[in-house]
Structure 1
Amino acid sequence: MTLTKLALIRHRPQWRRLIPVAFTGAVIASAVVAWNHGDWRLNLSPSEPMGLWSVQPYQVDDPPHVGEIVTLCPHLPSGYNYSWLGRDQVSNTCPGGGTPYIKTIVAGPGDVVHEDRHGVTINGVPLPDSRPLPFTTSKPQLALPQWRGTITLKAGQYWAYGAGDPRFSFDSRYWGPFSRTQIRSIAHPIAVFKYLYRPHITN
């Protein structure tokens, strides 16, 4: 083989090597869409462990309990810009097209919840990393609603918490307790991992 032919072979376009990569990416994207429209959910929010979850329809006659992980559609306070939340393509969306949140129930009927600017306590016990943020970590930074006060949860009321990376979870700290009628499904982790979110905000 001459040096000229060898040089041509070495410089031959390598685009064909990208075909398997592109095909694999298309298959994964299709699978994600299928999961999100069935009994599976791909969670990309660090507020709960990221990865693949199984979601089963919530039975209204079966009360949820503390420690259970659910997807829910809470009523968000009016007067705030929620464009930073985005819109994932999932089935069983919230009214208005929002994506149901995956959150852990940390308090239920009879529990006393207190929140101030320092964080949340439940029956006097502090929730780890529950100090609320005044602004989003998105750019531009937007004001977040702030729930404040003390409440004894009534029948059918619960408190949501992002147990993955709670420092940046958008949960009951910002919109208060939720009702069991706002629960969409019960979620179970299948293949997940915890991710510590590190926002990059420059003033």
Structure 2
Amino acid sequence: MRRRCILLFLTGGAVVLTGLAATAFRGGYRLNLTPSEPLGLWRIEELQRPSAIGDLVFVCVPATAAFRDAWRRGYLRRGLCPSGIAPLIKTVAALPGQHVEIADHVRIDGRSLPASVVRKIDGEGRALSPDPGGLLPPHHLFLHSPFASSYDSRYFGAVPDSGLLGLAQPILTFDR
């Protein structure tokens, strides 16, 4: 009898937690467990205007060989985006028509992007290949994170704005 009560209690708790998680997910709430932005609870806020430089956004990346390789290396997590990867939280650093130069750091339209050192190797000593840069095509965004080890457009290039989910609003976060 006691085991049955415990089992019923645990099952009920699991059902309640699953329901809360599903409700939060439908409400746009997400957990960030990566150091590119502060850890914690975030919310996707619908963007009612075109994206702008400086917007902190949630974005789904496309299902390309480069992103599958990044996932295998552990740079990205599994998630519910169509690519099977979790949405990224990044800052919009450049928009279509802007020119991006990537060398030892990033320059956009000739101006240095702060905190944009381009690394040659990752934390495990594996070679990193920077994106060649160039003129951002229509409907693409160049994304950046000031976190030194962030995997962002320095390495994967501009991404289609069709993957933009909305603005990233911190709810309960913890600085790194």
TM-score by length of 1: 0.65
* 1:147 paired residue number: 131
Identity between Structure 1 and Structure 2 (%): 33
Q: Is the 8 A contact 2:106 2:117 kept in 1?
A: yes
**What is the Cα deviation at residue 178 of structure 1?**
1.6
Letter in 1 for 2:110: G
Distance change >3 Å, CA 51–CA 124, structure 1 → 2: same
Unaligned 5+ segments in structure 2 are 1-13
Distance change >3 Å, CA 176–CA 43, structure 1 → 2: same
**What is the Cα deviation at residue 180 of structure 1?**
1.3
Partner of residue 121 from structure 2, selected from 135, 139, 147: 135
Partner of residue 52 from structure 2, selected from 42, 49, 65: 65
Q: Is the 8 A contact 1:32 1:42 kept in 2?
A: no
Distance change >3 Å, CA 110–CA 129, structure 1 → 2: same
Q: Is the 8 A contact 1:52 1:190 kept in 2?
A: yes
Q: Is the 8 A contact 1:48 1:162 kept in 2?
A: yes
CA distance in 1, matches of 2:25, 2:175: 20
Counterpart mapping for 1:1-150 below 5 A: 35-58=24-47, 62-75=49-62, 76-78=64-66, 80=69, 82-83=71-72, 84=74, 85-88=76-79, 93-116=80-103, 118-137=104-123, 142-149=126-133
**What is the Cα deviation at residue 33 of structure 1?**
6.4
How many residues are paired up? 160
Q: Is the 8 A contact 1:162 1:171 kept in 2?
A: yes
Query: Over the residues paired in the alignment, what is the CA RMSD in angstroms?
Result: 3.1
CA distance in 1, matches of 2:165, 2:106: 25
CA distance in 1, matches of 2:158, 2:109: 15
**What is the Cα deviation at residue 185 of structure 1?**
2.5
Q: Cα deviation per residue 1:48-102 (whole Å; 9 max; x = unaligned)?
A: 222221113456xx321111111112245548352212325xxxx2224210101
CA distance in 2, matches of 1:77, 1:176: 13
Distance change >3 Å, CA 77–CA 97, structure 1 → 2: closer
Q: Is the 8 A contact 1:77 1:145 kept in 2?
A: no
TM-score by length of 2: 0.73
Large movers: runs of 4+ above 6 Å: none
Unaligned 5+ segments in structure 1 are 1-25, 196-203
Q: Is the 8 A contact 2:60 2:83 kept in 1?
A: no
Equivalent position SS for 2:115:
coil
